[in-house]
Amino acid sequence: MKLIRKIVNKIAYRLVPNLRLLDECEDSIRAIMPVKENLQLGGEFIKINYPTQLRNVAIGNYTYIGQNANIFGTKIGKFCSIGPNLICGTGMHPTNGISTAPMFYSAENKSNGTTLCSKTKYEERSLVEIGNDVFIGANVVILNGVKIGNGAVIGAGAVVAQDVPDYAIVGGVPAKIIRYRFPDSQVNELQKIQWWNFSDDKLKMVEQYFYDTDKFISECKCQ
């Protein structure tokens, strides 16, 4: 069948020279078109820069995602800033079997076009959770099952293989904690306040006390 198709295409290209150019244009257009499957948007102020692939993803309000993101099976909170080229939740391979090729352990994943499995032997994907107000730099990889806490910062080029605590700044391969954005006392208060759930009007306080965390916490306690 493939041989017949190849012969037919060859004849068609000779009869209609511009047909090959049209095929190439379609391939180029397909490559930059966004892929969105089971995408849940949690508000009207969400920006997704294309091209990107989003499958089984939920995104909170006031979050933006940079170009060339490939995100699968992920819950993203509010007010997140996600840089370009994020790879997140794309699946794991077992390393303790004879092979790492999916055709030997997955009945559903036919990455190479086929499988020998009638029953899946290994769970390739698990939910990734990205909290609120998380900043992710460019070219970051986040592995399956990772949970990133509120207010965390992921440095550019990091490979995140383990959970990231609230308000931690991490970087490197694999990602490790560099420091925390605030002292424990302030982190605890910010976690209690959960400003990311404020009304639109009350969010003005974040702008008003942007560089004065103690004052912000104090004012929030008074209300």
Mind telling me the catalytic residues? 93
Identify residue 103 by its one-letter amino acid code: M
**Rounded distance, CA 74 to CA 148, Å?**
11
Look at residue 205 and give its three-state secondary structure. Answer: helix
List the beta strands (DSSP E) in 17-117.
35-42, 47-48, 53-60, 64-65, 70-76, 81-82, 87-88
Nearest to 49 by CA among 138, 117, 118, 123: 138
**Rounded distance, CA 179 to CA 159, Å?**
17
For Cα atoms 186, 190, 192, give the angle at the middle one, nearest 5 degrees: 120
Burial of 11 per CB tally in 10 Å (0-12, 13-18, 19+): exposed
Burial of 118 per CB tally in 10 Å (0-12, 13-18, 19+): exposed
DSSP H or E stretch at residue 187: helix 184-193
**Rounded distance, CA 76 to CA 142, Å?**
13
